């Protein structure tokens, strides 16, 4: 009896580790701001890096981070980085997304994860949450934001970009 219990714990821990350590972007459908469904695999930058920033209209640190990323957008473009802001606003708050992004005039792609399937599939529990991918592989994750974190993120991009910092 004790041995069976131990086996169950080992199986559970093995399964939990696999689930909690998502290493690739999953294939999940999200929506564009125009309402078109798109598979997350089709959002990847196959020739460079992709930065996914999960946010919501009610999350002040999320907005601050996206503003900071927007302010450095021209630098990021030089490194062939695709930036995607993924709104996790639900049915109650999703109507605030379009007015906010229109007012901010952010120059990166915005996707809507209304049912939070993308967020859940990546085991994201808190926002802001940033994920950097090289192809489909997740190479960096961060939860939370404080001023200056965008510079740390830029360093991650420099280190993993095909274009090295001294070439620009």
For every residue of 20-59, which 3-state class applies, written as one string?
HCCCECCCCEEEECCCCEEEHHHHCCCCCEEEEEEECCCC
Please name every residue paired with 51 in a beta bridge, in sequence order, or none if there are none.
Answer: 83, 132
Rounded Cα distance, 166 and 154, in Å: 14
Block residue for tokens 């209209």: 57
Give the pLDDT score at 79.
Answer: 87
Over the stretch 25-77, which tens digit does the pLDDT of each residue have? 999 999 999 999 999 999 999 889 999 999 999 999 999 999 999 998 888 87
Judge if the upstream peptide bond of residue 128 is cis by omega within 30 degrees of 0: yes
CA-based nearest residue to 107, from 83, 131, 75 = 83
pLDDT bracket for residue 1 (50, 70, 90) = low
Is pLDDT at 164 greater than 60 in this prediction?
no
Backbone angles phi, psi at 158, to 5 degrees: -55, -45
Does pTM surpass 0.85?
A: no
pLDDT band at 16 (very low <50, low <70, confident <90, very high): very low
Neighbouring residues of 143: CB distance < 8 A, sequence distance ≥ 6? 124, 126, 127, 128, 129
């Amino acid at each position: 009896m004790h041995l069976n219990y131990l086996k169950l714990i080992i199986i559970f821990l093995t399964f939990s580790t696999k689930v909690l350590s998502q290493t690739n972007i999953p294939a999940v459908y999200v929506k564009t701001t125009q309402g078109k469904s798109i598979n997350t695999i089709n959002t990847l930058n196959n020739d460079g890096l992709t930065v996914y920033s999960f946010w919501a209209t009610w999350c002040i640190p999320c907005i601050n981070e996206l503003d900071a990323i927007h302010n450095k957008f021209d630098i990021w473009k030089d490194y062939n980085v695709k930036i995607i802001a993924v709104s996790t606003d639900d049915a109650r708050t999703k109507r605030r997304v379009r007015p906010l992004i229109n007012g901010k005039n952010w120059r990166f792609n915005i996707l809507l994860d209304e049912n939070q399937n993308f967020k859940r599939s990546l085991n994201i529990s808190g926002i802001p949450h940033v994920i950097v991918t090289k192809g489909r592989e997740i190479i960096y994750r961060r939860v939370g934001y404080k001023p200056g974190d965008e510079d740390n993120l830029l360093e991650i991009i420099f280190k993993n970009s095909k274009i090295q910092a001294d070439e620009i």
